A and B are shown apart, each in its own frame.
With several copies, the nearest count.
Chain A
Amino acid sequence: MTVGIVVVSHSSKIAEGAVELAAQMAPDVDLVAAGGTDDDRIGTSLEKVLAAVEQSLVDSGGDGVVVLTDLGSAVMTAESAMEFASEPDAILLADAPLVEGLVAAAVAAQGGAGVEDVRSAAEAVGSKA
């Protein structure tokens, strides 16, 4: 088991692409994309995010979930989803750039890091490696 990661973006393409990119370096980590509105316009959807978070809670088998977001309203949607989630305490929101933070978080999770360390890895992303 590893920490699960949910990618909340305004764009389903961004979320899916970011998951594909990070999966290359973290094949054993459950990465779940939650991008776009429920009808795949640009925007976010509480239902999509909540479903992704719940799936990730199951996939990660108690190891916890880190959520990455793009713009501010994605943060607000993610925070709302956390209020409705079955295990809010197992979910941490990262204040990190979406793509760059995701790769760092996924690599940390792949290496067996705990949920706090996975979040820290995302948030520590600075200049491009």
Chain B
Amino acid sequence: MGLDVKWAQDWLRLSAKAMAEHRVELIELDRPIGDSDHGENMDRGFQAVLQKLDESPPETAGAALKAAAMALMSKVGGAAGPLYGTAYLRAATSLGEATDIDPEALAAALIAARDGIVARGKAEVGDKTMIDAWTPAVDAASNAAAAGQEAAAVLEAAADAAEAGAKSTDPLVARKGRASYLGDRSAGHRDPGAVSTALLLRAAAEAAAGPAVGTGAGAG
């Protein structure tokens, strides 16, 4: 049995929890190379996601991610809004009506998400953005899926790679987003969006591995 709407809901609920818990950390990361709002943005955005899930429980994983996309685009307020919004929207499209998501479909959805961020933000690996977490993550997920691993393991590989990718932004000079205003002075700081990406993918892995969380899980 692959992943379903319960997983998607758990993922989003664990994401909201992670954003709330790491709110201050993400704000502090955004301070030296941004405008000190990434934690606030993500927390607000995922609170809106929770509200949407409660208001109208989705029938499929795709529907859950689409609802999340709309909430993030409307409520985040910063660059992360259209970026994550587009990512979740493309992932939702990739998943379609699927109710039993196998590892290949999962990896394809993650690739679609990453491609959406690239389409929206035009960043490449090395530009010191969330793409530096997403691209190694989707590569790791694809490899794990191709190697025949379970969905939970695929997501764990993605989360591990995203964490490493986030760390890899430390020495980089930003070429996209607000941090690019700082030029060389952006080096020596970790990109906040890459860190939030790692947190979100870790939440996805936890949702696939662990027991149910939160309230409205498993409507499908």
CB-based contact B86/A80 at 8 Å:
yes
Most buried by B among A38, A43, A76, A107: A76
Are A38 and B178 CB-contacts (below 8 A) given A43-B37, A80-B85?
Answer: no
A24 / chain B contacts, CB cutoff of 8 Å: 35-37
Chain B residues with CB below 8 A from A103, complex form: 181
In the complex, whether A1 has a CB less than 8 A from a CB of chain B is no
Residues of B close to A71: CB separation below 8 A: 178
Task: Determine the chain A residues whose CB is within 8 A of the CB of B178 once the complex forms.
Answer: 25, 71-73, 129
Q: B181 → chain A, closest Cβ, in Å?
A: 4
- Chain B nearest Cβ from A66, distance in angstroms: 15
CA distance A22 to B81 in the complex (A): 20
Give chain B interface residues in 159-215, CB to chain A under 8 Å.
176-178, 180-182, 185
**Alpha-carbon separation in the docked complex, A71 to B178 (Å):** 8
A76 to B83, CA, bound (A): 8
- Contact, CB under 8 Å: A129 / B41: no
Which residue on B lies nearest to A45, using beta carbons?
B74
Main secondary structure of the interface of B (DSSP, over half): helix
Min Cβ gap A17→B in Å is: 14
For B31, the closest partner residue in chain A by CB is A27
**Contact yes or no, B81 A46, CB < 8 A:** yes
Contact B77 A43, beta carbon cutoff 8 Å: yes
Distance in angstroms between the alpha carbons of A43 and B182 in the assembled complex? 19
Whether, in the assembled complex, A37 has its beta carbon less than 8 Å from a beta carbon of chain B, the answer is yes
Total B residues in contact with A, Cβ cutoff 8 Å:
27
Whether, in the assembled complex, B78 has its beta carbon less than 8 Å from a beta carbon of chain A, the answer is yes
Q: Are A111 and B37 in contact (CB under 8 A)?
A: no
Q: Does B103 contact A (CB under 8 A)?
A: no
Give the CA-CA distance A42 to B40 in the complex, in Å. 12
Q: Which of B40-78 contact A (CB under 8 A)?
A: 41, 70, 73-78
Task: Name which residue of chain A comes closest to B35, CB basis.
Answer: A24
Besides A43-B37, A73-B177, A107-B182, 19 other CB < 8 A contacts?
A: A25-B35, A37-B75, A37-B77, A41-B77, A44-B77, A44-B78, A45-B75, A46-B70, A46-B73, A46-B81, A72-B177, A73-B81, A76-B81, A80-B73, A80-B82, A103-B181, A129-B176, A129-B177, A129-B180
* B interface list, Cβ under 8 A from A: 34-37, 41, 70, 73-79, 81-83, 85-86, 120-121, 176-178, 180-182, 185
Complex A-B: 29 CB contacts under 8 Å: A24-B35, A24-B37, A25-B181, A27-B36, A37-B75, A37-B77, A38-B75, A42-B37, A43-B77, A43-B81, A44-B81, A45-B74, A46-B73, A46-B81, A47-B74, A73-B79, A73-B81, A73-B82, A76-B79, A76-B83, A76-B121, A77-B73, A79-B82, A80-B73, A80-B85, A80-B86, A107-B182, A129-B176, A129-B180
